[in-house]
Amino acid sequence: MKHQYQFFGEPLSQDLWKIHDEDEVHHLVKVLRLKEGDVVAVGNGKGILVDGVVKEVTKRQVVVRVTSVNECKTREQKMALGLGVLRAGSIDEIIPSLTELGVDVLHVFQQSGSDRARLSEKAVDRWKKIIRTAVKQSKRAWIPELYVHQSLVDFLAHKASTYQSIYTLDQDAEQTISSVPPKQDGSILVLVGGEKGFDQDEIMFMTGLGCKSVRLSSNVLRSTTAAIAAVAYFATTLKI
């Protein structure tokens, strides 16, 4: 079966969608060299995916004739990851995997001792672009949400109530992640520290909130490995 490329677009009418983002049009026309009659998928990143046939190609937009529509409802039980900001490049490397595995929300928070420049506007814009690319590659209907926070305390103070099960990954925890199942009817948040883990103030704050301290393995895992492994575990557990 021939590979079907996916793009972001929006409806023109019930039967027609347009792809008009400059980068999307360039990739479709100049890189992939698709033309009239080729089959593509187009999504709005908000739950609607359509299959269609390229009807018209111009320099500024591509018009697609819709052949089928798939409306995907957002999951009530969402999976979120809270990640201490990592050195340049590390988050870029794992975002595709997190997106492909089905993470719904990604929170990146500043930690004591980490360079403030790691949460620069340029970095955040780059992460958003990587997420969009991974959404298309994995054929997802929804774009994961991305939030940045100036500290873990600030993040949890405003967002903790959103989640019914909150896990803190801790190499020294007595319980394994598989021994503490999440609640069946609530969203899940997994917290992973940066290169140096969590400091004592952060640990005390998470403990006070009732976060469940768990470990993934008896081996010491890098933050990037732990983040992907935890999301993969819950994606399987929640049957995402």
- Checking if the pLDDT of 1 tops 60, the result is no
Domains, the chain, with CATH or none: 6-71 (2.40.240.20), 79-237 (3.40.1280.10)
Cα–Cα distance, 29 to 108 (Å, whole number): 35
Q: Is 25 exposed, middle or buried (0-12, 13-18, 19+ CB in 10 A)?
A: buried
Please give the pLDDT value at position 36.
95
What phi and psi, each to the nearest 5 degrees, are found at residue 220? -80, 125
The CB density around residue 14, as the number of other CB atoms within 10 Å, is 8
Contact 67, 51 (CB under 8 A): yes
Q: What is the mean pLDDT of the chain?
A: 93
Q: What percentage of the chain exceeds 90 in pLDDT?
A: 80
Contact 197, 227 (CB under 8 A): no
What phi and psi, each to the nearest 5 degrees, are found at residue 177? -65, -30
Q: What is the mean pLDDT of residues 91-113?
A: 95
What is the tens place of the pLDDT at every residue in 33-83? 999 999 999 999 999 999 999 999 998 999 999 999 999 988 888 999 999
What is the tens place of the pLDDT at every residue in 160-216? 999 999 999 998 889 999 888 887 778 999 999 998 899 999 999 999 999 999 999
Cα–Cα distance, 57 to 64 (Å, whole number): 9
Q: Is the dihedral of CA 42, 28, 20, 17 positive or negative?
A: negative
